[in-house]
Structure 1
Amino acid sequence: MFILLMVSIILLFYFISTRKYGYWKRRKVPHVKPTILVGNYGDIIFQKKNFAEGVQGICKQLPNEKYIGAFYSTEPVFIPLDPDIIKLIVAKDFYYFNGRELSEHSHKEPAALNIFSTYGDNWRVLRQNMTLLFSSRKMRNMFYLIEKCSHVFEAMLDRETSVSNELETRLVTARYTIECIGACVFGVDANTMTGEMQDNPFSKIAALTSPTKYAAFIRGVRNVWPSIFYGLGLQLMSKQMDFFKNLITSVMNQRQNKPSGRNDFLDLILSWKLKQTIDGDSITYIKTGGRHRVSLKADDDLLVAQCFVFFNAGFETSATILSYTLYELAKNKEIQNRVLAEVDAYMEQYENRLCYECVNEFPYLWAAVDEVQRLYPVLGVIFRETMENYTLPDGLVIEKGMRVHIPVYYLHHNPMYFPDPEEFRPERFLGEEKQKVNPYTYLPFGEGPRTCMGKLFC
Structure 2
Amino acid sequence: IIVVVVLLYMYVTQWAFKYWDKRGIAYIAPKFPLGNAQTGKPSTRMHSSVLFASFYAQLKRSDGSFGGIYLFTRPIAVALKLDFVRDVLTRDFQHFSDRGIFYNEQDDPLSANLFTLTWDKWSVLRAKLTPTFSTGRMKEMAVLVAKVAHELQFCLRETLTKGSTVEIKDLMGRFTTDVIGSCAFGIDCNSLRDPQNTFKEMAQRVFQPSSRSRFQQLFMTAFPSLAKLLHMRTFDRQITSFFRAVVEETMRHRDLEGPGQRNDFMDLLIKLRDSDAGLTTNEIAAQALIFFSAGFESSSSTLAFCLFELSLNESIQRRVREEIEAISPKYDNQITYESISEMKYLDMVINETLRKYPPLGSLFRRVTQPYMSPEGEILAKDMNLIIPIYAIHHDPDIYEDPEIFIPDRFAPEEVRRRHRCAFLPFGDGPRNCIALRFGIMQTKIGLVALLRRFAFRPSSTTPRSMSFTRKSLTLTPDGGLWLNAVELV
Do the two structures share a fold, i.e. TM-score over 0.5? yes
- Give the whole-Å Cα distance in 1 for the aligned partners of 2:102 and 2:191: 35
| Shift in Å, 1:12 | 2.4
**Cα distance between partner residues in 2 of 1:44 and 1:93:** 39
Residue type at the aligned position of 2:161 = S
Among 400, 407, 423, the alignment partner of 2:404 is 423
Q: Which secondary structure state, in structure 1, belongs to the residue aligned with residue 59 of structure 2?
A: coil
Aligned to 2:17: 21
Gaps of 5+ in 2: 440-489
> Match for 2:38 among 34, 39, 42?
42
Aligned partner of 1:130 in structure 2 is 129
Query: Aligned residues: percent identity?
Result: 30
State the partner residue of 1:293: none
Amino acid at match of 1:119: T
- Deviates further, 179-188 or 227-236: 227-236
Query: For 1:203-352, what aligned pairs fall within 5 Å after superposition?
Result: 203-214=200-211, 215-227=213-225, 229-237=227-235, 238-256=237-255, 258-275=258-275, 277-278=276-277, 298-352=279-333
Change (3 A) 1:313 1:333: same
**CA drift at 1:190:** 0.8
- Alignment pair present for 1:68 and 2:67: yes
Unaligned runs of 5+ in 1: 1-5, 279-296
Give the superposition deviation at 1:102: 4.7
User: Of residues 7, 10, 35 in structure 1, which corresponds to 2:5?
Assistant: 10
Match status 1:58 vs 2:58: no
1:92 is matched with which residue? Answer: 91
Q: State the 1:228 CA deviation.
A: 5.2
Displacement after TM superposition at 1:220 (Å): 2.8
SS at match of 1:70: strand
* Distance in 2 of aligned mates of 1:168 and 1:241: 29
Per-residue deviation at 1:259?
A: 2.0
Say whether the 8 Å CA contact 2:59–2:67 is kept in structure 1.
yes
Preserved CA contact (<8 Å) 2:365 2:385: yes
| Aligned 8 A contact 2:103 2:112 in 1 | no
One-letter amino acid matched to 2:81: D
Q: Once the two structures are superposed, what CA deviation does each residue of 1:136-185 show, in whole Å capped at 9, x if it has no partner?
A: 11101111101111101110111111112111111000100011101110
2:69 match: secondary structure: strand
| One-letter code aligned to 2:10 | F
What per-residue deviation string (whole Å, max 9, x for no partner) do you get for residues 193-223 of structure 1? Answer: 12x333x221331232242552433423433
What secondary structure sits across from 2:31 in the alignment? coil
Task: Tell me the number of residue pairs that the alignment of Structure 1 and Structure 2 aligns.
Answer: 432
Structure 2 distance, partners of 1:213, 1:254, is 34
Residues 1:390 and 1:69: Cα distance change in structure 2 (over 3 Å): same
- Report the TM-score when normalising by structure 2: 0.84
**What CA distance in whole angstroms lies between the structure 1 residues aligned with 2:420 and 2:40?**
28
CA distance in 2: counterparts of 1:332 and 1:216, whole angstroms: 36
Counterpart of 1:288 in structure 2 is none
Give distance in 2, aligned partners of 1:102 and 1:373.
Answer: 23
Any conservation in 1 of the 2:101–2:364 contact (CA below 8 Å)?
A: no
- Structure 1 Cα separation of the partners of residues 58 and 324 of structure 2: 43
Aligned residue in 2 for 1:406 = 387
> How far does residue 246 in structure 1 lie from its aligned partner after superposition?
1.0
**How many angstroms apart in 1 are the aligned matches of 2:187 and 2:76?**
43
Q: Indicate how the Cα distance of structure 1 residues 153 and 186 shifts in structure 2: closer, same or farther if over 3 A, else same.
A: same
Query: Secondary structure in 2 aligned to 1:405?
Result: strand
Does the Cα contact within 8 Å between 1:387 and 1:400 map onto a contact in 2?
yes
By how many angstroms is 1:270 displaced? Answer: 1.1
- Is the Cα–Cα contact under 8 Å of residues 41 and 55 in structure 1 kept in the other structure? no
What residue number does 1:202 align with? Answer: 199
Q: Decide whether the 8 Å contact of 1:259 with 1:268 is kept in 2.
A: no
Aligned to 2:336: 355
Contact 2:204 2:293 in 1 (8 A): no
The 2-side partners of 1:125 and 1:44 are apart by 44
